[in-house]
């Protein structure tokens, strides 16, 4: 339904700052800023940390899989991986044993740095979720998943 020639907002909102999308972006930006500050002391960026976490969970995944899982382009993922490789945090063969995928693995230094960085990242997340009642966390996570699913399909 239109209001004064403009489409009506999807829910009652006084201005743009009351829209769900705006609030999600604000929360994401606050999280990114807090993580950037926390990871700086470990010499990592948020994309680098994300790659290290994924490689710890799924050793040997390809750069393309890393890109998809970290929500970046293959080109951006390649730049991140190159930095991690130059820093001695990951290894990747120069040529694939079979197919085109180059499996990526954490080095011992990568595992050590991840463990140290994980503590500060988890502290950031604890600060964030500590702002909501425990009883609402499961519902929030489910709601966020449903919103993402609604837009993915």
pLDDT at 42 over 80: yes
Confidence of residue 1 (pLDDT cuts 50, 70, 90): low
Name the H helices within the chain.
Answer: 20-40, 46-57, 63-69, 74-86, 108-129, 137-152
Which CATH topology does 41-152 take? Arc Repressor Mutant, subunit A (1.10.10)
Please report where in the chains the tokens 């926390």 appear, as a residue.
Answer: 38
**pTM of the complete model:** 0.83
Find the mean pLDDT for residues 17-25. 91
What are the pLDDT digits (tens) for 51-66?
999 999 999 898 888 9
Q: How many CB atoms lie within 10 A of CB 31?
A: 15
Find the mean pLDDT for residues 62-83. 89
Find the mean pLDDT for residues 20-49. 96
CA 130 centroid distance within chain: 19
- Domain boundaries, given as residue ranges, for the chain: 41-152
User: Quick one: pLDDT at residue 3?
Assistant: 60
């Amino acid at each position: 339904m239109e209001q004064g020639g403009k489409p009506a907002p999807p829910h009652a909102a006084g201005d743009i700052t009351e829209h769900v999308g705006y609030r999600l972006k604000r929360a994401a930006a606050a999280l990114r800023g807090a993580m950037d500050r926390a990871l700086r002391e470990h010499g990592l960026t948020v994309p680098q940390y994300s790659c290290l976490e994924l490689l710890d969970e799924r050793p040997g995944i390809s750069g393309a899989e890393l890109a998809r899982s970290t929500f970046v382009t293959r080109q951006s993922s390649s730049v991140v991986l190159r930095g991690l490789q130059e820093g001695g945090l990951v290894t990747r063969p120069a040529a694939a044993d079979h197919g085109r995928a180059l499996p990526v693995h954490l080095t011992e230094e990568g595992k050590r740095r991840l463990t140290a960085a994980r503590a500060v990242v988890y502290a950031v997340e604890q600060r964030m979720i500590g702002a909501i009642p425990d009883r609402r966390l499961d519902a929030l996570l489910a709601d966020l998943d449903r919103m993402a699913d609604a837009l993915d399909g």
